[in-house]
């Protein structure tokens, strides 16, 4: 029994303070759990990305929002926010992409920049452009005409551009744009992809600075496997902000047909 025969009671003010403290700690714990789940999901499972350029048209359009899966190629420091961690040649649970995968990666010459391109060459492959046609290991990839599309260029004008279906090794087919056959990137040297690297290209073949262009000239060059961030799997939304002309136009710029579309 408490001293003097009296029961010690918590003053009402102290009881209320404890109740509030418990409530605050509960909110902090809940916020911590949510942040932890977000960190785990964006690091280990999937991450959203935004498409700011037309180098991957017609597959990806300016204003597309896409979801990239983080686990297909394993994990490197570029799987983590802010690329936190040491450099390593081998990826944890690493696996090479396949020909035709659309990948998100850190630009080798400037890892602060994030790019999205299609995988054309794997280690050991020999890549060359001849008269605008892609050759892989001395085999010309099949091109099938698939009509024309209206494409908006940097000057705001729309022009018709030929669309083709290209088939890569392994049978993966995808659409490309081709509007000339005698450009600077239509006839190239033979690029032999070194070990631990991939060769990537944009689907908008005449408007893409990719592995065909050396880093010193503003291109991508070979991409170390370490720089892979995700495989682009699905569009989760799209907004045609290039044609925004006042509030009245805003609702019609949502591309509903591109929501939840596989890449």
Q: Determine which one of 76, 117, 208, 238 is catalytic.
A: 117
Active site residue 55: yes
Q: What is the Rg, in whole angstroms, of the alpha carbon atoms belonging to the chain?
A: 26
Q: SS3 for the chain, per residue?
A: CCHHHCCCCCCHHHHHHHHHHHHHHHHHHHHHHHHHHHHHHHHHHEEEEECCCCCCCCCCCCCEEEEEECCCCCECHHHCHHHCCCCCCCCECCCCCCCCCEEEEEECCEEEEEEEEEEEECCCCEEEEECCEEEECCEECCEEEEEEEEEECCCCCEEEEEEEEEECCCCCEEEEEECCCCCCCCCCCCEECCCCEEEEECCECCCCCCCCCCHHHCCCCCEEHHHEEEEEEEEEEEECHHHCCCHHHCHHHECHHHCCEEC
Check if 89 is active-site. no
Closest listed residue to residue 252, CA positions, set 243, 261, 260: 243
Per the CB < 8 A criterion, the answer to whether 15 and 23 are in contact is no
Q: Which residues belong to the active site?
A: 55, 117
């Amino acid at each position: 029994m408490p001293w003097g025969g009296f029961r010690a009671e918590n003053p009402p003010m102290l009881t209320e303070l404890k109740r509030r403290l418990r409530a605050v700690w509960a909110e902090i714990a809940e916020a911590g759990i949510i942040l932890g789940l977000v960190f785990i999901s964006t690091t280990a499972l999937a991450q959203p990305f935004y498409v700011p350029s037309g180098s991957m048209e017609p597959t990806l359009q300016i204003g597309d929002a896409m979801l990239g899966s983080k686990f297909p190629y394993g994990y490197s420091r570029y799987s983590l926010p802010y690329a936190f961690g040491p450099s390593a040649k081998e990826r944890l649970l690493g696996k090479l992409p396949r020909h035709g995968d659309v990948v998100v990666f850190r630009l080798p010459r400037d890892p602060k920049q994030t790019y999205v391109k299609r995988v054309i060459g794997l280690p050991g492959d020999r890549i060359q452009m001849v008269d605008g046609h892609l050759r892989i290991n001395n085999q010309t990839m099949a091109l099938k005409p698939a009509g024309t599309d209206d494409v908006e260029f940097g000057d705001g004008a729309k022009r018709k551009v030929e669309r083709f279906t290209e088939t890569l090794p392994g049978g993966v087919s995808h659409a490309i744009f081709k509007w000339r056959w005698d450009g600077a990137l239509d006839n190239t040297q033979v690029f032999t992809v070194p070990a631990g690297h991939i060769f990537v290209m944009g689907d908008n073949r005449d408007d893409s600075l990719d592995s065909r262009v050396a880093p010193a000239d503003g291109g991508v060059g070979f991409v170390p496997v370490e720089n892979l961030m995700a495989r682009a799997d699905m569009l989760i939304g799209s907004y045609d902000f290039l044609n925004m002309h006042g509030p009245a136009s805003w609702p019609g710029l949502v591309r509903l047909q591109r929501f939840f579309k596989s890449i």
